[in-house]
Structure 1
Amino acid sequence: MSSIAAPSVFVASWHRSTRRKNQDSRAAQAFISVPGTQRAVRASSRRVSCSAKPETVEKVSRIVKRQLALPDDAAVESSSNLAQLGADSLDTVEILMSLEEAFGISMDEGSAGRIVTVQDAADVIEKLASGRPS
């Protein structure tokens, strides 16, 4: 059994071997539990994604806030949806261009199309900055 602990999420996974008609199959299971809740959620995908560093999320939040001309007291968090913050398609393109310039990266159309929230943008930026495919 392996696990990863973070301040707000605990992830555990293990493999279960079964025998069927002389075949050994390994079924992987992953459970995610959030402290303060009464139940764990079984993950339906084996893909695990690490969140971006808090400083990356903060920088993305500042850029989004500036590009959308939001007031200083406006809450822009990692879970903030760009469209719900008032970004139309042109605003989103301008935000992405500002992020590329600020982080010294270049996003392809596929990566840019997956960005819906501030966290999505921060995750893509860190993958591109580290040289991993996004």
Structure 2
Amino acid sequence: MAANLLSRTSISVRPRFPQSNQRLVFDSVSGRSNVSFSWQPHSTRLRVICAAKPETVEKVCKIVKNQLALPDDSNVTGESKFAALGADSLDTVEIVMGLEEEFGISVEEDSAQNITTVQEAADLIEAIIEKQSP
């Protein structure tokens, strides 16, 4: 019986994030390894951050201020949301047109509809410019 206990190893690992209900179990019996996962659904928002160059973010801030007729001392940053700055859907279209003109790019309508912040606009601009580069 002692030999049988030594040949079986079971390890249970929980992620470091307390809100997660995920669990990973390693179980080794007689030289065979079994890996099982147990998942319980929960809402998680995955955010991918692509840091655009500060110069690009600055230019986008300037264009947003200009299109929305905001005072020069307005605090517009990469995290600024167009809606919070008072932009409606028509303003957002005008912002995108201003960005296209300034950077010499063309933004697809689907991409333009997903832009909600200055940072997202700057990231999209750099991605488009990178695709255009040979």
> How far apart are the structure 2 equivalents of 1:93 and 1:106?
13
- Counterpart of 2:60 in 1: which secondary structure? helix
1:42-57 superposed matches below 5 A: 45=46, 48-57=48-57
Structure 2 length as normaliser, TM-score? Answer: 0.64
Structure 2 distance, partners of 1:48, 1:69, is 30
Q: Which amino acid aligns with 2:78?
A: S
Letter of the structure 2 residue corresponding to residue 104 of structure 1: G
Matched, 1:118 2:118: yes
Against the structure 1 CA distance between its residues 72 and 110, is the aligned structure 2 distance closer, same or farther, given a 3 Å change threshold? same
Distance 1:110-1:74 versus aligned 2 partners, 3 A rule: same
Distance apart, 1:24 and its partner CA: 6.7
Mapped pair 1:100 → 2:100: yes
When normalised by structure 1's length, the TM-score is 0.64
Structure 2: gaps (5+ residues): 1-23, 37-43
Decide which structure has the larger Cα Rg and report it.
Answer: 2
Partner of 1:79: 79
Change (3 A) 1:23 1:102: farther
Determine the structure 1 residue equivalent to 2:60: 60
Question: Which residue identity lines up with residue 83 of structure 2 in the other structure?
Answer: A
Residues of 2 paired with 1:100 and 1:65: CA distance? 16
Q: 1:81 to 1:22 in 2, by over 3 A?
A: same
Q: Which has the higher helix share?
A: 2
Structure 1 runs, 4 residues or longer, greater than 4 Å off: 18-25
Deviation at 1:88, TM superposition (A): 1.1
In terms of fraction of residues, the more strand-rich structure is: 1
* 1:48 CA drift (Å): 4.2
CA distance in 1, matches of 2:74, 2:107: 27
Pairwise CA distance, 1:101:
0.7
RMSD: 2.8
**How far apart in 2 are the matches of 1:81 and 1:44?**
18
Structure 1 gap ranges (5+):
1-15, 26-42
> Secondary structure of 2:85's partner?
coil
